[in-house]
């Protein structure tokens, strides 16, 4: 039977061993983790020992115990503290915890940070295989970031993550943007109250979480913009409303003029009164739309358009490519899509440039009088 997990505490940690006795430890002012010299009958006894050690520290009376009691900081202990101290969005925190639990801790949990080497990291990376390249890249990137912080904290002298390019992954499936006739077919196949959602996702490049939290007050028909200020996510079944993932996500998106009459009609016919009314609520009219509800309508609509491969997020990709085809600069694409780095926006520009051969062929048809 494995030991029970450590209790989350403001100072130190407690863990019940298989013997039912309790173990206690804490991180001292010198950055090292010290275990109690013995185990305890009850958690209260262990907490009393921790309280005594904390009192010594607060009164500046603490001195390091003998070297025999020093326990090197393990990756498991350090990553737990790293995640707790990091100011992360709930969805990102959940993602990092899942990566730790499934890919990193099974190998590195009990390994002392100072014993991690480039060779051991390379062996772990190789053992992951190539079946899930994106997830492996995310895991390597997280490992490299955590150990980079350990270097900053002077716990280790150098970062053992030295595999070039391991934190990046190639897209497993090449996205094929929707054509305008396909978009038209998808919109026609959606319930009326959700048609504008498809149009804003594709023509304005908005994320699902941004659309699901869009409210009447966020629409400025006079200036023709949608003000993106919030997003909604679901973390372990709980609805979480907050700011977009990055500061760049807070933006005003100009609505193409041909959509403005449709936006106004949607506000009149499918949006409740009041500034706080959701544009695309769930069936009850007041709570945020869930992805499962959307997919029940979207999957048949995309099938009718002959695009069963088109994920909802690919509509945003379609909108980005359409914007790039207008000649939008990299900075303009970043602003419109809410990207904080050029990498993603640059990808859409590359896709747009890929049409050069089609343009050349069209020019030849003009020359031939076709």
Q: Which residues are catalytic?
A: 207, 313, 316, 339, 348
Q: Which residue has the tokens 């607060």?
A: 58
288 neighbors 232 (Cβ within 8 angstroms): yes
- Say how far apart CA 147 and CA 116 lie, in whole Å: 9
The string of DSSP letters for 41-90 reads: SSHHHHHHHHHHHHHHHHTT------GGGEEPPBHHHHHHHHHHHS---H
Q: What is the dihedral of CA 331, 335, 339, 345, to 10 degrees?
A: -50
Map residue 318 onto helix, strand or coil.
Answer: helix
Helix (H) or strand (E) holding 225: strand 225-228
Residue 174: partners with Cβ closer than 8 Å, 6 or more residues away: none
């Amino acid at each position: 039977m494995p030991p029970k997990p450590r209790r989350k505490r403001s100072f130190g940690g407690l863990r019940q061993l298989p013997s039912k006795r309790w173990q206690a430890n804490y991180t001292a002012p010198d950055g090292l983790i010290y275990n109690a010299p013995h185990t305890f009958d009850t958690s209260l006894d262990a907490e009393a020992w921790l309280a005594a050690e904390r009192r010594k520290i607060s009164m500046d009376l603490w001195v390091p115990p003998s070297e025999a009691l020093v326990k090197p900081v393990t990756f498991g202990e350090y990553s737990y503290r790293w995640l707790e101290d990091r100011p992360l969005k709930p969805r990102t925190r959940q993602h990092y915890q899942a990566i730790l639990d499934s890919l990193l801790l099974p190998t590195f949990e009990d390994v002392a940070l100072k014993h991690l080497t480039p060779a051991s990291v390379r062996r772990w990376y190789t053992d992951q295989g190539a079946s899930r390249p994106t997830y492996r890249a995310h895991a390597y990137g997280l490992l490299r970031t955590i150990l980079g912080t350990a270097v900053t904290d002077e716990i280790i002298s150098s970062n053992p993550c030295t595999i070039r390019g391991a934190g990046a992954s190639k897209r497993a499936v090449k996205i094929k943007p929707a054509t305008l006739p396909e978009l038209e077919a998808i919109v026609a196949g959606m319930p009326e109250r959700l048609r504008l959602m498809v149009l804003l996702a594709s023509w304005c490049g908005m994320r699902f979480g941004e659309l699901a939290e869009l409210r009447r007050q966020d629409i400025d028909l006079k200036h023709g913009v949608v003000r993106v200020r919030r997003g909604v996510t679901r973390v372990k079944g709980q609805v979480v409303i907050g700011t977009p993932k990055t500061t760049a996500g807070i933006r005003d998106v100009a609505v193409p003029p041909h959509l403005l009459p449709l936006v106004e009609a949607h506000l009149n016919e499918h949006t409740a009164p009041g500034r706080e009314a959701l544009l695309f609520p769930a069936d009850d009219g007041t709570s945020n739309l869930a992805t499962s509800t959307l997919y029940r309508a979207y999957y048949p609509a995309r099938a009718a358009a002959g695009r069963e491969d088109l994920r909802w997020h690919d509509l945003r990709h379609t909108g980005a490519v359409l914007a790039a085809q207008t000649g939008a600069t990299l900075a303009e694409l970043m602003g419109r899509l809410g990207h904080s780095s050029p990498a993603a926006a640059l990808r859409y520009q590359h896709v747009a440039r890929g049409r050069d051969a089609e343009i050349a062929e069209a020019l030849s048809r003009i020359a031939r009088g076709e």
